[in-house]
Protein backbone atom coordinates (compact mmCIF):
# COMPACT_ATOMS: atom_id res chain seq x y z
CA UNK A 1 0.00 0.00 0.00
CA UNK A 2 1.17 3.53 -0.81
CA UNK A 3 0.01 7.10 -0.49
CA UNK A 4 -0.07 10.29 -2.52
CA UNK A 5 0.62 13.70 -0.96
CA UNK A 6 -0.44 16.84 -2.84
CA UNK A 7 1.14 20.12 -1.74
CA UNK A 8 -1.03 23.21 -2.14
CA UNK A 9 1.41 26.16 -1.85
CA UNK A 10 -1.01 28.97 -1.03
CA UNK A 11 -1.99 30.71 2.22
CA UNK A 12 -4.03 33.80 3.02
CA UNK A 13 -1.48 34.89 5.63
CA UNK A 14 2.03 33.88 6.70
CA UNK A 15 1.94 32.32 10.18
CA UNK A 16 4.87 33.62 12.21
CA UNK A 17 6.20 30.13 13.06
CA UNK A 18 5.82 28.45 9.67
CA UNK A 19 8.76 27.45 7.46
CA UNK A 20 6.80 25.34 4.96
CA UNK A 21 6.72 26.39 1.32
CA UNK A 22 3.80 28.67 0.43
CA UNK A 23 2.86 31.93 -1.24
CA UNK A 24 0.33 34.53 -0.10
CA UNK A 25 -0.15 35.55 -3.73
CA UNK A 26 -2.81 33.57 -5.61
CA UNK A 27 -1.82 35.04 -8.96
CA UNK A 28 -0.70 31.72 -10.42
CA UNK A 29 -3.26 29.46 -8.71
CA UNK A 30 -4.92 28.33 -11.96
CA UNK A 31 -1.57 27.49 -13.52
CA UNK A 32 -0.56 25.64 -10.35
CA UNK A 33 -3.69 23.45 -10.35
CA UNK A 34 -3.04 22.58 -13.99
CA UNK A 35 0.58 21.69 -13.19
CA UNK A 36 -0.39 19.55 -10.20
CA UNK A 37 -2.78 17.59 -12.39
CA UNK A 38 -0.06 17.23 -15.03
CA UNK A 39 2.52 15.98 -12.52
CA UNK A 40 0.04 13.38 -11.27
CA UNK A 41 -0.24 12.06 -14.83
CA UNK A 42 3.48 12.31 -15.64
CA UNK A 43 4.46 10.24 -12.58
CA UNK A 44 1.83 7.50 -12.82
CA UNK A 45 4.34 4.88 -14.04
CA UNK A 46 6.33 5.28 -10.83
CA UNK A 47 3.42 3.74 -8.92
CA UNK A 48 1.99 1.43 -11.58
CA UNK A 49 2.40 -1.58 -9.27
CA UNK A 50 1.20 0.18 -6.13
CA UNK A 51 -2.22 0.41 -4.53
CA UNK A 52 -3.07 3.88 -3.20
CA UNK A 53 -4.57 3.80 0.29
CA UNK A 54 -4.40 7.52 1.08
CA UNK A 55 -4.58 10.88 -0.68
CA UNK A 56 -3.47 13.80 1.46
CA UNK A 57 -3.86 17.48 0.64
CA UNK A 58 -1.26 19.43 2.63
CA UNK A 59 0.35 22.80 2.38
CA UNK A 60 0.11 25.67 2.59
CA UNK A 61 -3.65 25.78 3.06
CA UNK A 62 -5.49 23.31 0.80
CA UNK A 63 -8.88 24.59 1.97
CA UNK A 64 -8.38 27.78 -0.07
CA UNK A 65 -9.12 25.67 -3.17
CA UNK A 66 -12.62 25.48 -4.58
CA UNK A 67 -14.49 22.18 -4.45
CA UNK A 68 -14.06 21.87 -8.24
CA UNK A 69 -10.28 22.28 -7.94
CA UNK A 70 -10.11 19.69 -5.17
CA UNK A 71 -12.29 17.27 -7.13
CA UNK A 72 -10.17 17.68 -10.25
CA UNK A 73 -7.05 16.60 -8.37
CA UNK A 74 -8.79 13.64 -6.75
CA UNK A 75 -10.12 12.62 -10.17
CA UNK A 76 -6.62 12.79 -11.66
CA UNK A 77 -5.30 10.45 -8.99
CA UNK A 78 -8.20 7.99 -9.28
CA UNK A 79 -8.03 8.02 -13.08
CA UNK A 80 -4.28 7.29 -13.25
CA UNK A 81 -3.55 5.08 -10.21
CA UNK A 82 -4.93 1.95 -8.60
CA UNK A 83 -6.89 3.49 -5.74
CA UNK A 84 -8.69 1.64 -2.96
CA UNK A 85 -12.45 2.15 -2.85
CA UNK A 86 -11.98 2.95 0.85
CA UNK A 87 -9.08 5.35 0.23
CA UNK A 88 -8.56 7.90 3.00
CA UNK A 89 -8.74 11.39 1.49
CA UNK A 90 -7.59 14.07 3.94
CA UNK A 91 -7.88 17.81 3.44
CA UNK A 92 -5.91 20.13 5.69
CA UNK A 93 -8.10 23.15 6.40
CA UNK A 94 -8.08 26.44 8.26
CA UNK A 95 -11.20 27.32 10.27
CA UNK A 96 -11.87 30.55 8.34
CA UNK A 97 -12.30 28.52 5.14
CA UNK A 98 -14.71 26.01 6.67
CA UNK A 99 -18.08 27.66 6.37
CA UNK A 100 -20.98 25.26 6.73
CA UNK A 101 -21.60 25.54 2.98
CA UNK A 102 -17.98 24.57 2.22
CA UNK A 103 -18.11 21.67 4.68
CA UNK A 104 -21.30 20.32 3.07
CA UNK A 105 -19.64 20.55 -0.36
CA UNK A 106 -16.63 18.65 0.93
CA UNK A 107 -18.81 15.99 2.55
CA UNK A 108 -20.38 15.33 -0.85
CA UNK A 109 -16.95 14.83 -2.45
CA UNK A 110 -14.48 11.99 -1.92
CA UNK A 111 -12.85 13.92 0.92
CA UNK A 112 -13.64 11.81 3.99
CA UNK A 113 -11.26 13.25 6.58
CA UNK A 114 -10.65 16.84 7.68
CA UNK A 115 -7.47 17.97 9.42
CA UNK A 116 -8.36 21.32 10.97
CA UNK A 117 -5.52 23.69 11.92
CA UNK A 118 -7.00 25.28 15.04
CA UNK A 119 -3.69 25.59 16.99
CA UNK A 120 -5.45 27.42 19.86
CA UNK A 121 -8.96 28.44 20.89
CA UNK A 122 -7.69 31.69 22.41
CA UNK A 123 -7.51 34.90 20.40
CA UNK A 124 -4.29 36.14 22.02
CA UNK A 125 -2.45 33.01 20.89
CA UNK A 126 -3.86 33.26 17.37
CA UNK A 127 -2.78 36.89 17.10
CA UNK A 128 0.72 36.07 18.35
CA UNK A 129 1.04 33.33 15.71
CA UNK A 130 -0.57 35.52 13.00
CA UNK A 131 -3.23 32.92 12.24
CA UNK A 132 -5.88 33.84 9.66
CA UNK A 133 -8.85 32.72 11.79
CA UNK A 134 -10.41 33.90 15.05
CA UNK A 135 -11.26 32.01 18.21
CA UNK A 136 -14.95 32.20 17.26
CA UNK A 137 -14.28 30.71 13.82
CA UNK A 138 -12.32 27.87 15.44
CA UNK A 139 -15.35 26.83 17.49
CA UNK A 140 -17.86 27.34 14.67
CA UNK A 141 -15.93 25.24 12.15
CA UNK A 142 -15.64 22.30 14.56
CA UNK A 143 -19.36 22.49 15.27
CA UNK A 144 -20.15 22.49 11.54
CA UNK A 145 -17.60 19.80 10.69
CA UNK A 146 -18.88 17.49 13.44
CA UNK A 147 -22.32 17.49 11.81
CA UNK A 148 -21.05 16.27 8.45
CA UNK A 149 -17.78 14.34 9.06
CA UNK A 150 -17.07 11.37 11.31
CA UNK A 151 -13.32 11.45 10.77
CA UNK A 152 -11.86 14.74 12.00
CA UNK A 153 -8.38 15.62 13.24
CA UNK A 154 -7.64 18.87 15.06
CA UNK A 155 -4.17 20.44 15.35
CA UNK A 156 -3.03 22.18 18.52
CA UNK A 157 0.27 23.86 19.40
CA UNK A 158 1.73 23.93 22.90
CA UNK A 159 4.59 25.94 24.34
CA UNK A 160 3.31 29.20 22.83
CA UNK A 161 4.84 32.12 24.76
CA UNK A 162 2.22 33.29 27.26
CA UNK A 163 0.16 30.09 27.03
CA UNK A 164 -0.10 29.01 30.67
CA UNK A 165 -1.09 25.51 31.75
CA UNK A 166 -4.63 26.57 32.62
CA UNK A 167 -5.36 27.81 29.08
CA UNK A 168 -3.58 24.79 27.63
CA UNK A 169 -5.91 22.48 29.58
CA UNK A 170 -8.89 24.49 28.35
CA UNK A 171 -7.75 23.96 24.74
CA UNK A 172 -7.70 20.22 25.32
CA UNK A 173 -11.06 20.22 27.12
CA UNK A 174 -12.75 22.07 24.25
CA UNK A 175 -11.66 19.40 21.77
CA UNK A 176 -12.76 16.62 24.13
CA UNK A 177 -16.21 18.19 24.39
CA UNK A 178 -16.74 17.54 20.65
CA UNK A 179 -15.54 13.91 20.79
CA UNK A 180 -12.97 14.54 18.05
CA UNK A 181 -11.47 11.22 16.95
CA UNK A 182 -7.92 12.41 16.24
CA UNK A 183 -5.72 15.11 17.77
CA UNK A 184 -2.32 16.25 16.55
CA UNK A 185 -0.40 18.38 19.05
CA UNK A 186 2.95 19.94 18.21
CA UNK A 187 5.56 21.68 20.30
CA UNK A 188 6.13 25.21 19.03
CA UNK A 189 9.46 25.16 17.23
CA UNK A 190 11.43 28.30 16.43
CA UNK A 191 12.66 27.81 12.88
CA UNK A 192 15.38 29.97 11.28
CA UNK A 193 14.26 32.70 8.88
CA UNK A 194 10.72 32.84 10.30
CA UNK A 195 9.01 35.94 11.69
CA UNK A 196 8.82 34.23 15.08
CA UNK A 197 12.60 33.85 15.16
CA UNK A 198 13.05 37.54 14.29
CA UNK A 199 10.59 38.69 16.96
CA UNK A 200 12.28 36.56 19.60
CA UNK A 201 15.73 37.84 18.62
CA UNK A 202 14.44 41.43 18.88
CA UNK A 203 12.82 40.76 22.27
CA UNK A 204 9.32 41.45 20.95
CA UNK A 205 8.15 37.94 21.85
CA UNK A 206 9.50 35.78 24.68
CA UNK A 207 11.54 32.76 23.66
CA UNK A 208 10.01 29.30 23.85
CA UNK A 209 10.57 27.71 27.26
CA UNK A 210 11.80 24.10 26.98
CA UNK A 211 10.59 23.25 30.47
CA UNK A 212 7.13 24.56 29.62
CA UNK A 213 7.11 22.51 26.41
CA UNK A 214 7.85 19.32 28.32
CA UNK A 215 5.37 20.11 31.08
CA UNK A 216 2.56 20.83 28.63
CA UNK A 217 3.32 17.69 26.65
CA UNK A 218 2.84 15.54 29.74
CA UNK A 219 -0.33 17.44 30.70
CA UNK A 220 -1.64 16.60 27.22
CA UNK A 221 -0.56 12.98 27.50
CA UNK A 222 -2.19 12.47 30.89
CA UNK A 223 -5.52 14.09 29.96
CA UNK A 224 -5.85 12.32 26.62
CA UNK A 225 -4.84 8.91 27.94
CA UNK A 226 -7.41 9.32 30.72
CA UNK A 227 -9.98 9.93 27.97
CA UNK A 228 -8.99 6.75 26.07
CA UNK A 229 -6.87 8.37 23.37
CA UNK A 230 -3.87 6.35 22.21
CA UNK A 231 -0.63 8.27 21.75
CA UNK A 232 0.32 6.13 18.76
CA UNK A 233 2.99 8.59 17.58
CA UNK A 234 4.75 11.31 19.55
CA UNK A 235 2.52 14.14 18.26
CA UNK A 236 -0.61 12.15 17.42
CA UNK A 237 -3.50 10.78 19.45
CA UNK A 238 -6.41 8.67 18.25
CA UNK A 239 -9.66 7.23 19.58
CA UNK A 240 -10.59 3.69 18.56
CA UNK A 241 -7.51 3.16 16.36
CA UNK A 242 -8.46 5.98 13.96
CA UNK A 243 -4.86 6.61 13.01
CA UNK A 244 -3.92 8.86 10.11
CA UNK A 245 -3.32 6.44 7.23
CA UNK A 246 -1.14 9.00 5.46
CA UNK A 247 1.14 9.81 8.38
CA UNK A 248 1.33 6.21 9.57
CA UNK A 249 2.76 5.29 6.18
CA UNK A 250 5.66 7.71 6.71
CA UNK A 251 6.52 6.24 10.12
CA UNK A 252 6.25 2.67 8.84
CA UNK A 253 8.55 3.29 5.88
CA UNK A 254 5.95 2.81 3.15
CA UNK A 255 6.28 4.35 -0.30
CA UNK A 256 4.65 7.67 -1.06
CA UNK A 257 4.51 10.10 -3.95
CA UNK A 258 4.74 13.84 -3.34
CA UNK A 259 3.05 16.10 -5.89
CA UNK A 260 3.66 19.86 -6.05
CA UNK A 261 6.43 22.35 -5.26
CA UNK A 262 8.61 21.28 -2.29
CA UNK A 263 6.79 17.92 -2.01
CA UNK A 264 8.86 14.89 -1.02
CA UNK A 265 8.60 11.32 -2.33
CA UNK A 266 10.02 7.96 -1.21
CA UNK A 267 10.21 4.73 -3.22
CA UNK A 268 11.86 2.51 -0.61
CA UNK A 269 15.42 3.23 -1.71
CA UNK A 270 15.45 6.84 -2.85
CA UNK A 271 14.06 10.16 -1.71
CA UNK A 272 12.99 12.92 -4.09
CA UNK A 273 12.05 16.51 -3.39
CA UNK A 274 10.54 18.96 -5.84
CA UNK A 275 11.85 22.46 -6.39
CA UNK A 276 10.73 24.92 -3.72
CA UNK A 277 9.60 27.65 -6.11
CA UNK A 278 6.14 27.97 -7.66
CA UNK A 279 7.11 29.51 -10.99
CA UNK A 280 10.07 27.17 -11.51
CA UNK A 281 7.82 24.23 -10.69
CA UNK A 282 5.11 25.33 -13.16
CA UNK A 283 7.65 26.05 -15.90
CA UNK A 284 9.32 22.66 -15.49
CA UNK A 285 6.06 20.70 -15.49
CA UNK A 286 4.93 22.60 -18.61
CA UNK A 287 8.03 21.18 -20.30
CA UNK A 288 7.24 17.67 -19.01
CA UNK A 289 10.38 17.78 -16.87
CA UNK A 290 10.08 16.61 -13.28
CA UNK A 291 11.70 19.33 -11.14
CA UNK A 292 13.10 17.16 -8.38
CA UNK A 293 16.40 16.38 -6.70
CA UNK A 294 17.11 12.74 -5.89
CA UNK A 295 19.03 11.09 -3.06
CA UNK A 296 19.84 7.39 -2.83
CA UNK A 297 19.69 6.07 0.73
CA UNK A 298 22.63 4.13 2.09
CA UNK A 299 22.25 1.16 4.42
CA UNK A 300 23.16 3.43 7.33
CA UNK A 301 20.56 6.02 6.23
CA UNK A 302 17.85 3.35 6.22
CA UNK A 303 18.93 2.05 9.63
CA UNK A 304 18.86 5.52 11.18
CA UNK A 305 15.43 6.28 9.72
CA UNK A 306 14.10 2.98 11.05
CA UNK A 307 15.27 3.94 14.54
CA UNK A 308 13.92 7.50 14.35
CA UNK A 309 10.48 6.50 13.08
CA UNK A 310 10.12 3.43 15.27
CA UNK A 311 10.91 5.18 18.53
CA UNK A 312 8.34 7.90 17.81
CA UNK A 313 5.56 5.31 17.61
CA UNK A 314 3.81 2.67 19.67
CA UNK A 315 5.04 0.10 17.15
CA UNK A 316 8.63 0.45 18.33
CA UNK A 317 11.69 -0.97 16.60
CA UNK A 318 11.68 -4.67 15.78
CA UNK A 319 15.08 -6.07 16.73
CA UNK A 320 14.32 -9.15 14.64
CA UNK A 321 13.76 -6.95 11.57
CA UNK A 322 16.91 -4.95 12.33
CA UNK A 323 18.80 -8.23 12.33
CA UNK A 324 17.24 -9.47 9.07
CA UNK A 325 17.44 -6.14 7.20
CA UNK A 326 20.81 -4.87 8.42
CA UNK A 327 22.66 -7.75 10.08
CA UNK A 328 23.55 -8.88 13.59
CA UNK A 329 26.29 -6.25 13.99
CA UNK A 330 23.71 -3.45 13.62
CA UNK A 331 21.37 -5.16 16.09
CA UNK A 332 24.11 -5.69 18.65
CA UNK A 333 25.35 -2.11 18.30
CA UNK A 334 21.81 -0.80 18.74
CA UNK A 335 21.26 -2.77 21.94
CA UNK A 336 24.66 -1.69 23.27
CA UNK A 337 23.96 2.01 22.55
CA UNK A 338 20.44 1.77 23.98
CA UNK A 339 21.57 0.30 27.30
CA UNK A 340 22.25 3.62 29.02
CA UNK A 341 18.71 4.75 28.19
CA UNK A 342 17.29 1.41 29.30
CA UNK A 343 19.09 1.89 32.63
CA UNK A 344 17.40 5.31 32.99
CA UNK A 345 13.95 3.85 32.12
CA UNK A 346 13.75 5.92 28.93
CA UNK A 347 13.78 2.81 26.73
CA UNK A 348 12.76 -0.80 27.26
CA UNK A 349 12.82 -4.08 25.32
CA UNK A 350 9.74 -6.31 25.19
CA UNK A 351 9.14 -9.33 22.93
CA UNK A 352 12.22 -8.40 20.91
CA UNK A 353 11.01 -4.84 20.24
CA UNK A 354 12.75 -1.68 21.44
CA UNK A 355 10.28 0.92 22.72
CA UNK A 356 10.40 4.42 24.13
CA UNK A 357 8.94 4.59 27.63
CA UNK A 358 6.36 7.10 28.81
CA UNK A 359 9.13 8.84 30.72
CA UNK A 360 11.28 9.12 27.61
CA UNK A 361 8.61 10.11 25.06
CA UNK A 362 9.24 13.84 24.98
CA UNK A 363 12.95 13.16 24.43
CA UNK A 364 12.43 10.48 21.78
CA UNK A 365 14.01 12.36 18.85
CA UNK A 366 17.14 13.17 20.84
CA UNK A 367 17.41 9.61 22.11
CA UNK A 368 16.94 8.21 18.61
CA UNK A 369 19.64 10.46 17.16
CA UNK A 370 22.03 9.24 19.85
CA UNK A 371 21.40 5.68 18.62
CA UNK A 372 22.26 6.50 15.02
CA UNK A 373 25.23 4.93 13.32
CA UNK A 374 27.36 7.70 11.84
CA UNK A 375 28.92 7.45 8.38
Please write the tens of the pLDDT for every residue from 85-108.
Answer: 999 999 999 999 999 999 999 999
Q: Per-residue confidence at 169, pLDDT binned at 50, 70, 90?
A: very high
What percentage of the chain has pLDDT greater than the value 90?
99
- pLDDT tens digits, 295-352: 999 999 999 999 999 999 999 999 999 999 999 999 999 999 999 999 999 999 999 9
| Average pLDDT over all residues of the chain | 97
Q: What does the pLDDT read at residue 56?
A: 98
Q: What is the pLDDT of residue 357?
A: 98
Report pLDDT digits (tens) over 32-85.
999 999 999 999 999 999 999 999 999 999 999 999 999 999 999 999 999 999
Tell me: pLDDT of 374 over 90.
Answer: no
| Residue among 274, 308, 338 nearest 38 (CA) | 274
In this prediction, residue 116 carries a pLDDT of 98
Q: State yes or no: pLDDT of 375 exceeds 80.
A: no
Query: In CATH, what number does 2-251 get?
Result: 3.80.30.20
CATH no. of 299-370: 1.10.10
pLDDT band at 1 (very low <50, low <70, confident <90, very high): confident
Mean local confidence (pLDDT), 260-267: 97
pLDDT band at 294 (very low <50, low <70, confident <90, very high): very high
Q: What are the domain boundaries of the chain?
A: 2-251, 299-370
The pLDDT assigned to 240 comes to 95
Q: Which percentage of the chain shows pLDDT scores above 70? A: 100
- pLDDT grade, residue 110 (50/70/90)? very high
Amino acid sequence: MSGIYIHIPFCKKACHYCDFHFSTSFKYKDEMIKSLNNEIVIRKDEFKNEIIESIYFGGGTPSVLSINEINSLIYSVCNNYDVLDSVEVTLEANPDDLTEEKIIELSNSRVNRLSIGVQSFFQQDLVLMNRSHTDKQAIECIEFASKHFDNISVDLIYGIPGLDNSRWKQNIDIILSYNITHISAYALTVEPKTALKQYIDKGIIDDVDDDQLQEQFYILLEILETNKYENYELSNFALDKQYSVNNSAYWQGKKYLGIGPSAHSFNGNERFWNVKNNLKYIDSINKNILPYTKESLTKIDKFNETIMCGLRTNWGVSLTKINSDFGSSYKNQLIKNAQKYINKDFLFIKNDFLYISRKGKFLSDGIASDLFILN
